[in-house]
Amino acid sequence: MDPNTPARFRKVDFHVPRLRKCPFDLDTVDWRGATLLGAGMDGCVWRVRFGDHGPYYALKLFWDADPAVLYQCYFAAQRECQNAALLQAIRASVDQEAAAQEVLDAGGTLPDDDGPGAAPTLVFPDPQDEYEAASNLYSFSVEIRRDRHKFAHLDAPETMRLRDVPMPRFVQCYGWLRVNAEDLIARMPRHCQPDPVHVKRKEFRYFQKGPTEFIAIVYEYIHKEGGDGTEGDKDTIKTTTVGREQRAVRPSTVRQRPPVKEEPKKELPYDDERDRVASVEKFLHLAGFQFCPQPLRRNWVNGVLVDHSDIIGPRFFGWHKRYYRLRSTAVLLSE
C-alpha cells in the first residue's frame, strides 16, 4: 500500500495497530554512500538513499528478531511498529476531521455514510489513569467520534475538543522491511558496520553472519537545523549501554545525531525547541501516551521526536500509571 495513502482509524486499528510494509527496495541502497548514525541496545540506524538520487532516509534495524527469546522485556521492533501505526491513525483522524469541518464552513455538505463526518475528537482534559488514557486514545476512532457526537445531548463526563490542541509534527514513517543479515553484511563496507554494543559484563549486541532475518523500519531523515545535509556532513557515532533490568520500561538510545562541521552551525534557539518539545509532550499525554522513565536529549532533533520506542501507548506492554504524567521539557531534554 502507498505510504502516502491515509491510514485507517477504526477502533480495531487502535486496539491492534499494524504498520504497513515499506514499498522501498533495500537492494537499491548504495551502502558506500550510507552513514552509520548510531547503535544501542535495540539496534542501529543508518542514513541511506534508496536509488541513486532522492532524499535521505533513516533506516533503523533491530537486533532482536524473535520475541520468544525475550523475558519480561519489550520487543523493540513491535513497540516502534505499534507506535508508528498509532501516530499514523491519529494523524489520519485529525486530518479527516479538519477537512470535513472546512467543507461545512464553506457551506458544503458531507456524504451521508457511516463515517465520522466533522464529529470532534473529545478527550478527558486531565487524564489520570489507564482507563482515561485509553479512552482518549480510542477517541480518535471512527466509531467513538461518531457515537459521542450522536449522543452529545446526554450527560457525559467533562471532555474537551482536541481540535483546540493542534497535532504537532512527528517524524514520518514509511513502514517496515525484512532484512537478511548475511546478504546485508556481504554488501556493507566496514565503515557502515556497527561495533559491538556492550550490554553488561560479557554480553554484547552485534551483527553476526547467518541466515537470520531482522526487522527494520524506514523513517524520514531529520536534518539538524544549521546543517546543509550534504555529503560533506559527518556524523559522530555514539553508543549507550542500558542494563537489561531497565528494558521493560527503557528503550535504547538509537538516535540520529546532528552532523559535526568545522564551522559553527546555527543552532535552533533553545526556547523555540523547548516550545516544540512541550507541544509534543502535551499532545501525546492527551492521546494517552507516556514517556519512558529516562528520556534523553538525543531523542529529539529540532523539536521532533525521532525515537518512537521512547513512548508507550495505553494498554501496551510497559505502560505504567506511575509514569503517566506531564514531564517538564528540562527532563525530556536532559543529556
What are the sequence ranges of the domains in the chain? 11-84+169-332
Report the pLDDT averaged over residues 12-40.
92
7 closest CA partner among 61, 18, 196, 51: 18
**Would you place residue 233 in the very low, low, confident or very high pLDDT band (cuts 50, 70, 90)?**
very low
C-beta separation of 197 from 203 below 8 A? no
The three grid cell numbers given for residue 148, joined into one nine-digit string = 459521542
- Decide which of 57 and 43 is more confident: 57
pLDDT above 50: residue 236: no
- Pairing verdict, β 35-39 and 238-239: parallel
- Decide which of 102 and 68 is more confident: 102
**Would you place residue 210 in the very low, low, confident or very high pLDDT band (cuts 50, 70, 90)?**
low
Q: pLDDT tens across 119-168, in order?
A: 889 999 999 999 999 999 999 999 999 887 776 655 566 788 888 888 99
- Decide which of 234 and 95 is more confident: 95
189 closest CA partner among 77, 48, 53: 48
Q: Which range, of 133-147, 169-183, 184-198, 262-276, averages the lowest pLDDT?
A: 262-276
d(C-alpha 255, C-alpha 237), whole Å: 10
**3-state DSSP assignment of residue 75:** coil
Please return the burial class of 81, using the count of CB atoms within 10 Å of its CB with bins 0-12, 13-18 and 19+. Answer: buried
pLDDT above 70: residue 241: no
Q: pLDDT tens across 55-68, in order?
A: 999 999 988 777 76
Q: Which range, of 155-159, 227-231, 311-315, averages the lowest pLDDT?
A: 227-231
Q: What's the per-residue H, E or C state across 110-164?
A: CCCCCCCCCCCCEECCCCCCHHHHHHHHHCCCHHHHHHHHHCCCCCCCCCEEHHH
pLDDT, residue 53, reads 76
Q: pLDDT tens across 258-307, in order?
A: 444 434 444 555 688 899 999 999 999 999 999 988 777 888 999 999 99
Residue 246 sits at the vertex; the CA angle it makes with 42 and 205, to the nearest 5 degrees, is: 35
Question: For residue 281, is it left (φ>0), alpha (ψ between -120 and 50) or beta?
Answer: alpha
Please return the burial class of 261, using the count of CB atoms within 10 Å of its CB with bins 0-12, 13-18 and 19+. Answer: middle
Backbone angles phi, psi at 101, to 5 degrees: -65, -35
d(C-alpha 105, C-alpha 85), whole Å: 30
